[in-house]
Every structure is written in structure tokens, then in C-alpha cells.
Chain A
Amino acid sequence: MSKAVRVPVREQCPRERVSNFSEVCLGYSLEEAVAEAARCLGCKNAKCIGDCPVAIDIPAFISHVKKGDIAEAAKVIAQASALPAVCGRVCPQESQCEGKCILGIKGDAVAIGKLERFVADWARENPVDIAEAAPQNGKKVAVIGSGPAGLTCAGDLARKGYAVTIFEALHEPGGVLVYGIPEFRLPKDTVVKSEIANLKKMGVQIETNVVIGKTLTIDQLLGEEGFDAVFIGSGAGLPKFMGIAGENANGVFSANEFLTRNNLMKAFKEEYSTPIKVGEKVAVVGGGNVAMDAARTAARLGAETHIVYRRSEAELPARVEEVHHAKEEGIIFDVLTNPVEILVDDKGWVTGLKCIRMELGEPDASGRRKPVEVPSSEFVMVVDTVIMSLGTSPNPLISSTTQGLEINKWQCIVADEESGLTSRKRVYAGGDAVTGAATVILAMGAGKKAAKAIDEMLSGETR
């Protein structure tokens, strides 16, 4: 095989996988991983590291894979990331590490993500002790939310000897990794649970069913609960809707609701009690990764599924791989199409989605060409379910109950980009609660920076 081409990764065939929730990508074998690792040039001034939000020493871990020493590779990754099996699956590598790979100029970039995944999976199945932590230093840090930002911050602090307690509002830790990203992209029992178990091994405590802002406030955490610092990684928040007629009809869901019912509550499994309603024909409105997740879930539940997106395919914000997988699974893309009304029967159920055709005009503030309506091009898509995947606005539970915590005009928590420090002393924040909906790895990067800043602040103090 030519050096310019990456070792292909095995996947479940589309026809088969669209009727199950097992993982789509099957990952590399040891031989495949070693062969792919051999393509890495081991650049001295490796550009890939600079574009990794948690700065994994990529050439170093790949050099161990090359030699077949996977345990050493796992240790290198563990120094930078607490969630490698997650990142290897859900990071947008093409626009981060792999996007900077020299091999990508003339051929395929090294499959860094797939190699990271291989190493992490191997380390889970083989005895490698990567959960090393420094001796306890007697200082307590509370982490709010057990998603990517919170888990990363907790892991880094526990490693440095802090007593970390994570407070999770839901009944299961993992945040978006559990309620948002579907099983077929990120298996919960094997991958997510075991990465969380690694954190617990380092001494991280996780308290579920604690809704900060309701069950306890930030002031109580810093006061009677005796924490020295707090990190807020509470995540994205409330789903947005379009504000069109018929949006409260039965059969209209937010992507958050649809995915939470299926992923967190496991509605797709017979033995779980939570219901999920998917009709015969589903329209998912939006073009991001969450929209792809919702569409591919609906397809697996048996519906003919359409993505309705107002710009053209080139502007789809979802990862290329997700769009590709969705198409393989038979998702129909109706691009340059914008909903204007949801049609409803006399009992309040959805009967159709009235849309208008769009065309691309001048570039807008985002630099993308602005979609404009084509006059008199309205038409009706006959659907019985509409899933709105339009992003989220921040959850007010914490900001509304914490005096002096500054928020911006989008209601996001204001935090220093380098340290995560908020307008309140000892209170740090990162991830979607600060940036609005973004990616797993950016949230992890923010959790990492905050952990560093919290350590710098607290290590100077004596108790």
C-alpha cells in the first residue's frame, strides 16, 4: 500500500448497522494500528500537537505504537487526556491534529484519532495502570457537571492530589457523553463508564442527583460544604426552537429530548421504561453533529429520515465523517430548505412541515454565504415527526442563583480564556456553559486550563 494512503478502518456495513445501535466504527487491530503508525514522520516541530486542545504528545505516543508498545503509548496520552477512548471517537480530528499533519498535504493525514482510540481501547482491555495520583494535599475542589469539561478538570486536579467531588444533576455521570452522543458513536457501558471508572480510581468522588443552583448553591459549596474552589462545567443548556407556528405540536421534539430519551434513558431497549415516539417519516431541522446524531437515531428506530438545512451541503457544520455515515445509512439531505410552519391536525399532531427553498446570497457575519428565500417556492414535506436541532441557550440554574457571577449578553458565564476564572473569586468555568455549544475536546481543553489555574491559586495557599 502506498505511503500516501491511510490504513482503512473497518466499519459495520451500512445496511446492517442502520437497524442496530452497536458501534459503527470497529477500530484498528494491532497489526493495522502498527502499520498506520509507521506512516507517521515523527516531525520534530510537530504541528499536530499545537492543534490539539489538550496538547497530547502525538508523535511520542505514535512512536510507541510503531514499536508495538501500546502500554507506553497509553501512558503518554494519559499525561494529557483523561478521556482518550472518547476523543479518539468524537473529536473533529480533521480540523485539529490531522488537519495539520504534513502527510495531509500530498495524501492522507495520519489517522491520529483512530490510533488514539486503538491505544485507549487496548489500555482498557489490558492491564495498564495509568491512574496515578499524587498524595492528597488536603484541599477540596468541587466540579459542577460530569461532562467532558468537568471530567477533565477533575482528573487533572485529582492527579495533583486534590480531593475532588463532581456534582452531577442527572442520575448518571458523563454529561453529553451519556445523554447526547448516541451509543453507535460512543458506547456507554464499555467506553464512557470505564473512563469515568479511571477517574474514580484516582479518588474522584461523583455525587449524582445534585442540581447545583437548586439542591446546593455555589455559595454553599464554598461555605458550609468547605470547598476551596469550584469549577463550573454545567454544559450547554436549554434547546432553541425556531419560533414558527405549530412548534408545540405533538410530534415536535428538541434534539436534546429525542437523544436524551434514547441515550440516557435507553428508550431503544425494550426493558427500559422510558417511551420514545418516532413516526414513519422524520424531519430533523439543522445541520450540526447533533442533527446527524438525531437523524441516525431516528433511522435506527425505523423512520424515513430527512435532514432539513437552510444552507447548502458545503456549509453543513457537522463533521464530514458524520455526514458521510448519515448518507450511507440512507438519511436524505434536503439542503437549501428552511421550515416556515409545522402543519398540525385537529388533535394537535404533526402532519407536515411547510418549507421554503433557499439560495445562497452574499457572505454574512459568519463569513458563510447567507441563505435567502426563493420567492413563492413554498412546499410541504409530509412528515409526522419534527426534531429541532438548532443549538442551545445557557441554563440559568447557576447564574440566577449565584450573586456576582457575571454573564454576557448571550447569558453565557464570563470566564477568562486562559484560566477560566469567573467574576467570582475561587469560581472557575469552562466548556459549553462559557462558550455556548461547542465540541467535546474544546470543553476538555477548558477544563484542563482551569485545573492548572486552580492548582496555581491553591498551591500558594496554606490550610
Chain B
Amino acid sequence: MYQIVAKRQLAPQIYLMDVAAPRVAKSAKPGQFVIVKMDEKGERIPLTICDYDAARGTVTIVFQTLGQSTMEMASLETGDSFSDFAGPLGEASEFIHEDIESLKEQRLVFVAGGVGTAPVYPQVKWLQQRGVQVDVIIGARSGDHVILEAEMKALGANVYVTTDDGSYSRKGLVTDVLKELVDNGTRYDHVIAIGPMIMMKFVARLTKEYNIRTTISLNPIMVDGTGMCGACRVSVGGEIKFACVDGPEFDGHLVDFDEAMRRQAMYKSEEGKYLLAMEKNNHAGGCCGGAS
């Protein structure tokens, strides 16, 4: 069992948990993910790692309640346990293999959208702690949906926040901020975008115009997370890749986002079984975009 040693709500529907998983904490690297399962009958849910502390033996996960499984997860409290917590899975971010001195000479910007801000955090932390100054653009629906802003600033990153409704900081999309920064003369060498698929698609489209190297992180449907099922397959540069073993990070200019978005909707993400049952009951109506 893997005990929850701390829990806090970061925003409406977004929760953070520190989970005791010493082996995972010791091996985790920025960019990797874990698979969690609540109990015997639960789903295996892939979640990107938000932070890890080898000394304390904890791994931090952040998740948004989307369907039945994540809603049940949110009802767990400090002291409760997950039955299963496997990882770290996937490849670490490629920059951890790069030379620190050359990283220091690069201008990096992270583009984070919504709950996707969480997996950006360990990357920013890893770089800032090694003296690599980075910029971070955080986008959210509204002010109260902005997460980890203070934590990013505490690491020393330059943080820009934008909200869809303008209720906090400024109004607009992350791509508006990125475009402004570039048009005003900031010359980025590498953009790392993590957030909703549609956001990553438009960031990649913009950076393609500007010819800036771009990395994105996918969170597709998975079952085992170790390469066995192939549910997470994605077309990258015309080749089939498995996000769980080849990714989750890929070259944003090569990913077929439209296909990835369609595949993500296969089970309406993790609302899965519940929605499928609803769909069956409504079958006569022919709605829901299922196979008809």
C-alpha cells in the first residue's frame, strides 16, 4: 500500500497529494509518470510526476477530477492509501542528458496549461536548481484555476500568467503571450509545452512558424504503462510510437495532434465505463459520437 502523507486542493477540481513510494521517489526524473490504482476494482490511471523527494520517500501527484475514478481519488484523505503506485515510467525529459553549461546558454520557455502546470514544475525545478534560468508561461481558465505560480516563482523562474477570462493577471491564451515575447525580441531556443492537447497543438503550430525547437508531453489512454497494450500509440513523424515507453515527451512538430485528440476521446478520457454505460442506454438516440 502507498500512503497519502499530505493532500491539498490547489484549485477547483485540482488536487495535490504526496504519496509514500520510496523506490519511485529515488528513481524519478523530470518528465516521467506513474500509474496509480486506488483499490482492487479501480482503473490504472497514468499521472505525470509533479515532484519527488528521495530523502522523504515521497512522490507528488497532481490530478484533475474528470470522471468517476478521479472523483473517487479526490475523496481520499491524508492517511488513506493507494493499493498500487508504479513507476517512474516513460523516458525522462531529454535535457537531463544535456550538458549543464550548454543549457545555461540556451533560452528555454515552458508553456503550461491548466493541470499541465504540474508536470512542468519538476522540470523547472531541476533546471533552476542547476543554475539554468527559464521562463514559464502559465495559462488557466480563470484566476482560481492557476496552480503552482508561487512555487515556480520561488524557484526563481520568470513567470507569466494569463487567463481565458481575464480574471487574473491578463486575458488571453498562452500562445498570445508566447507570440508577444517572441515578437518583442526574446529569442527562444527551446519551447516545452505541457497542457491540453489543443493547447499543445497551437503552441507547436506557432513555434513551427518561428522555427523554435518544441517538446510536448502526451497523456493518452493507457492500460499497463509498460509497453504491453499499445493503447497509447501515437503517430510521430509518420511512425507509430508508444507514449509509455518512447515518450511521454515528443517533438511537437512531428506529433499528429488531431489523431491523438480523437484517440483520447475513445473512452471520453477516463469517464470510461460510466459513460460507456450511458452511451449504451442512449444508443437508440445515436448520440455521443461513438461508433455508429
**Chain A: residues with CB nearer than 8 A to chain B?**
169-171, 179, 208-211, 214-216, 236-239, 241, 243, 247-251, 253-254, 256-257, 260-261, 264-267, 271-275, 277, 279, 345, 347-351, 384-385, 395-397
Does A256 contact B229, Cβ atoms closer than 8 Å? yes
Does B240 contact A241, Cβ atoms closer than 8 Å? yes
User: In whole angstroms, what is the CA distance A274 to B89 when docked?
Assistant: 20
A173 to chain B minimum Cβ distance, whole angstroms, is: 12
Q: A247 — nearest CB in chain B belongs to which residue?
A: B240
B residues less than 8 Å from A261 (CB atoms): 223, 229
B291 at interface, CB cutoff 8 A = yes
A sample of 29 inter-chain contacts (CB < 8 A) reads A211-B86, A211-B87, A214-B87, A215-B86, A239-B228, A239-B229, A239-B230, A241-B230, A248-B233, A248-B259, A249-B262, A250-B265, A253-B230, A254-B230, A254-B231, A257-B230, A261-B223, A274-B44, A275-B275, A277-B267, A345-B292, A347-B262, A347-B289, A348-B262, A351-B291, A384-B291, A395-B228, A395-B245, A397-B245
Q: How large is the interface on B (under 10, 10 to 19, 20 to 34, 35 or more residues)?
A: 35 or more
A residues less than 8 Å from B228 (CB atoms): 179, 236-239, 256, 260, 395
User: In whole angstroms, what is the CA distance A254 to B234 when docked?
Assistant: 14
User: In whole angstroms, what is the CA distance A366 to B289 when docked?
Assistant: 44
A201 to chain B minimum Cβ distance, whole angstroms, is: 22
Does B230 contact A211, Cβ atoms closer than 8 Å? no
Residues of B242-285 at the interface with A, using a CB-CB cut-off of 8 Å, are 242, 245, 259, 262-263, 265-267, 272-273, 275-276
B residues less than 8 Å from A216 (CB atoms): 23, 27
Does B259 contact A348, Cβ atoms closer than 8 Å? yes
Contact partner, A275, options B23, B227, B265, B267, Cβ 8 Å = B267
Identify which of A215, A241, A265 gathers the most chain B CB atoms within 10 Å of its CB. A215
A residues less than 8 Å from B233 (CB atoms): 241, 248
Q: B228 — nearest CB in chain A belongs to which residue?
A: A256
Does B291 contact A251, Cβ atoms closer than 8 Å? yes
Q: What secondary structure prevails in chain B residues at the interface with A?
A: mixed
B235 at interface, CB cutoff 8 A = yes
B63 to chain A minimum Cβ distance, whole angstroms, is: 15
B residues less than 8 Å from A251 (CB atoms): 266, 291
A residues less than 8 Å from B245 (CB atoms): 238, 395-397
User: In whole angstroms, what is the CA distance A329 to B240 when docked?
Assistant: 35
A residues less than 8 Å from B224 (CB atoms): 169-170, 179, 260, 264
A440 to chain B minimum Cβ distance, whole angstroms, is: 17
B69 at interface, CB cutoff 8 A = yes
B residues less than 8 Å from A347 (CB atoms): 262, 289
Q: A274 — nearest CB in chain B belongs to which residue?
A: B43
B286 at interface, CB cutoff 8 A = no
B64 at interface, CB cutoff 8 A = no
User: In whole angstroms, what is the CA distance A146 to B227 when docked?
Assistant: 17
User: In whole angstroms, what is the CA distance A251 to B231 when docked?
Assistant: 11
Residues of B200-254 at the interface with A, using a CB-CB cut-off of 8 Å, are 223-224, 226-231, 233-235, 240, 242, 245
Contact partner, A171, options B37, B87, B275, B289, Cβ 8 Å = B37
B119 at interface, CB cutoff 8 A = no
B residues less than 8 Å from A267 (CB atoms): 273
Does B227 contact A348, Cβ atoms closer than 8 Å? no
A304 to chain B minimum Cβ distance, whole angstroms, is: 14
Does A237 contact B231, Cβ atoms closer than 8 Å? no
B84 at interface, CB cutoff 8 A = yes
User: In whole angstroms, what is the CA distance A277 to B37 when docked?
Assistant: 20
Q: A257 — nearest CB in chain B belongs to which residue?
A: B229
Tell me whether A395 and B84 are in contact in the complex, defined as CB-CB below 8 angstroms, given that A271-B41, A348-B259 are known contacts. Answer: no
A residues less than 8 Å from B229 (CB atoms): 239, 254, 256-257, 260-261
User: In whole angstroms, what is the CA distance A157 to B219 when docked?
Assistant: 41
Does B41 contact A272, Cβ atoms closer than 8 Å? yes
Contact partner, A350, options B27, B69, B84, B291, Cβ 8 Å = B291
Tell me whether A209 and B86 are in contact in the complex, defined as CB-CB below 8 angstroms, given that A257-B223, A260-B229, A275-B273 are known contacts. Answer: yes
